[in-house]
């Protein structure tokens, strides 16, 4: 199996696929030039509709990490920065604030939050 999704999660399937691919890239399991499985194959592996996988692939292209249509399947590319710096930092801040809010709701202080974030980051690296 190429990647894992959680059908019970409220997170959309195409988002889970997108995130998994990002994760595998940042962990070095996927490198520029590697090919992703064809849409239909991954769809049948995940027991989902092809359109769902297609949407994940499309968004990965918009993220600038995937390339290729029709030619020869979908290929991991060198990462291109595609967002304006202002937009990038806006999204980052929003994500950080959301985490900070939830952590504070649970009575966590900054140091504990940083520690948990570090553990959640990656095993190695």
Partner DNA sequence: GTGGTCTAGACCACA
Partner DNA sequence: GTGGTCTAGACCACT
Binding site for its own copies (CB under 8 A): 7-8, 10-11, 18-19, 22-23, 26, 62-64, 67-69, 71, 79-88, 91-93, 95-108, 110, 113-114, 116-122, 125
- List Cα–Cα distances, 113 to 48, 83, 104, 121, in angstroms: 36, 28, 9, 12
Q: Of its own copies, DNA, none, which one sits near residue 93, judging by CB under 5 to 8 A according to partner kind? A: its own copies
Residue 44 C-beta: closest distance to DNA, Å: 10
Q: Are 50 and 43 in contact (CB under 8 A)?
A: yes
Contact track, DNA, 8-47, x by CB under 7 A: --x-xxxx--------------------xxxxxx------
Q: What backbone phi and psi angles, to 5 degrees, belong to 69?
A: -135, 130
Q: Of DNA, its own copies, none, which one sits near residue 79, judging by CB under 5 to 8 A according to partner kind? A: its own copies
Distance, in Å, from the CA atom of 5 to the CA atom of 14, rounded to the nearest integer, reads 9
Contacts 24+ apart (CB under 8 A), 99-104: none
């Amino acid at each position: 199996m190429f990647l894992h999704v959680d059908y019970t999660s409220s997170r959309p399937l195409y988002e889970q696929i997108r995130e998994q691919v990002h994760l595998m890239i940042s962990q070095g399991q996927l490198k520029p030039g590697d090919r992703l499985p064809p849409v239909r194959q991954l769809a049948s592996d995940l027991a989902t509709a092809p359109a769902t996988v297609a949407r994940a692939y499309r968004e990965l292209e918009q993220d600038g990490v995937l390339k290729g249509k029709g030619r020869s399947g979908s290929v991991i590319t060198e990462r291109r920065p595609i967002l304006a710096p202002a937009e990038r930092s806006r999204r980052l801040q929003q994500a950080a604030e959301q985490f900070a809010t939830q952590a504070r709701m649970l009575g966590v202080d900054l140091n504990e939050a940083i520690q948990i974030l570090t553990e959640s980051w990656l095993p190695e690296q």
